[in-house]
């Protein structure tokens, strides 16, 4: 006699072989996809790695004269300070105005920038971390580094001066809280710049615009800082405009001279 439907024991249906194989295949494909996605994420550079690689890229001398840096300065807060020497180089008037303008159209800004780019390149080749800064760069507010040097040039107009208006000038920050150390930076710059260029130090034409240079009041007062005027565009044109490697070498060696005294 047939068992009434309500008395039959309920049995859980079991999967047959094709169904089991399908489930296994789906699980395998899912695991494979998870592995690929995880691996790709692990190998993707972080934002910090991308920023540091960009910041450390060497600038080709003169490149910014033809094509200014499109992205602008990288905010200081996005880049962690590296281990080792850290130097800020200000290209005078860059990002603000042309500065002195010569009859042939040469500008102080372009002259400063070309030399500053070469200095940054030479220092980076020696393992120094360098930030190239504009005249009124936002990163100068509270800027803290092992050295900051601002690069400028003097007038393209005839100057009535004794001795004649040829030569370079160096002034250190008057806002510094470490005057002895900052004096050493200025001394190194004077010695090495004279050695590299053959130009004389034109001390008696140093002005308040140099000794009280605006950025000196913006920096961390414990950052050794100085400003250099590489020469007079009127009488030293052939040196600072046509042979920028020489002033760049002098400034680079002056900074390295100072850094060595801190080891």
* CATH, residue 153: 3.40.630.40
In a domain, 130, yes or no: yes
With beta carbons less than 8 A apart as the criterion, state whether 126 and 58 touch: no
Which structure tokens are listed for 32?
Answer: 């494979």
- Give the model confidence (pLDDT) of 136-185 as tens digits: 999 999 999 999 999 999 999 988 877 788 999 999 999 999 999 999 99
CA atoms within 13 A on the CB side of 56: 17
- Residue 119 inside a domain? The answer is yes
| Helical H segments across the chain, by residue range | 17-43, 47-56, 63-66, 108-125, 179-197, 208-211, 237-240, 245-261
**pTM of the entire predicted model:** 0.70
HSE value, Cβ hemisphere, 13 Å, CA-based, for 120: 25
In a domain, 17, yes or no: no
Q: Does a structural domain hold residue 57?
A: no
Q: Exposed, middle or buried by CB within 10 Å (0-12, 13-18, 19+), for 3?
A: exposed
Indicate whether 176 belongs to any domain: yes
What's the pLDDT score for residue 227? Answer: 97
Nearest to 172 by CA among 196, 190, 193, 198: 190
Rg (the chain; Cα; Å): 31
pLDDT computed for residue 32 by the predictor: 53
Is 15 inside any structural domain? no
Is pLDDT of 200 > 60? yes
Question: pLDDT tens digits, residue range 13-68?
Answer: 444 555 545 554 545 555 554 544 444 444 434 333 333 333 333 333 333 333 33
| Residue-number span of the structural domain to which 183 is assigned | 85-261
pLDDT of residue 90: 98
pLDDT at 73 over 90: no
Q: Token pair for residue 183?
A: 């004096």
Least confident stretch, 16-20, 67-71, 111-115, 192-196: 67-71
Confidence of residue 204 (pLDDT cuts 50, 70, 90): confident
Q: Which two tokens stand for residue 202?
A: 């034109």
Q: How many CB atoms lie within 10 A of CB 27?
A: 10
Q: Is 215 helix (H, G, I), strand (E, B) or coil?
A: helix
Contact 189, 149 (CB under 8 A): yes
Please report whether residue 52 resides in a domain.
Answer: no
Our count of domains for the chain comes to 1
Lowest-confidence pick of 39-43, 99-103, 202-206, 246-250: 39-43
Within a domain: 73:
no
Question: How large is the average pLDDT for residues 185-203?
Answer: 97
Mean pLDDT in residue range 63-80: 40
């Amino acid at each position: 006699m047939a068992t009434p439907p309500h008395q039959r024991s309920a049995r859980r249906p079991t999967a047959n072989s094709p169904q089991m194989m399908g489930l296994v295949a789906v699980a395998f494909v899912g695991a494979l996809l998870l592995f690929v996605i995880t691996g790709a994420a692990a190998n993707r550079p972080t934002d910090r790695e991308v920023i540091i690689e960009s910041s450390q890229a060497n600038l080709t001398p003169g490149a910014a004269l033809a094509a200014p840096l499109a992205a602008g300065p990288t905010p200081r807060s996005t880049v962690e300070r590296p281990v080792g020497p850290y130097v800020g180089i200000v290209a005078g008037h860059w990002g603000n105005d042309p500065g002195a303008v010569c009859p042939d159209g040469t500008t102080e800004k372009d002259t400063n920038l070309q030399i500053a780019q070469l200095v940054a390149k030479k220092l980076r080749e020696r393992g120094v971390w360098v930030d190239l800064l504009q005249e009124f760069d936002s990163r100068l507010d509270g800027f803290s580094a092992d050295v900051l040097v601002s690069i400028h040039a003097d007038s393209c107009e005839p100057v009535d001066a004794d001795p004649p208006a040829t030569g370079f000038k160096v002034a250190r920050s008057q806002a510094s809280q470490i005057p002895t150390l900052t004096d050493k930076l200025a001394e190194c710059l004077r010695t090495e710049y004279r050695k590299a260029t053959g130009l004389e130090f034109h001390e008696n034409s140093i002005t308040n615009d140099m000794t009280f240079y605006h950025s000196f009041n913006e920096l961390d007062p414990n950052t050794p800082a100085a400003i250099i005027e590489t020469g007079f565009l009127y009488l030293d044109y052939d040196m600072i405009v046509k042979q920028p490697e020489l002033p760049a070498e002098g400034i680079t060696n002056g900074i390295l001279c100072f850094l060595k005294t801190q080891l």
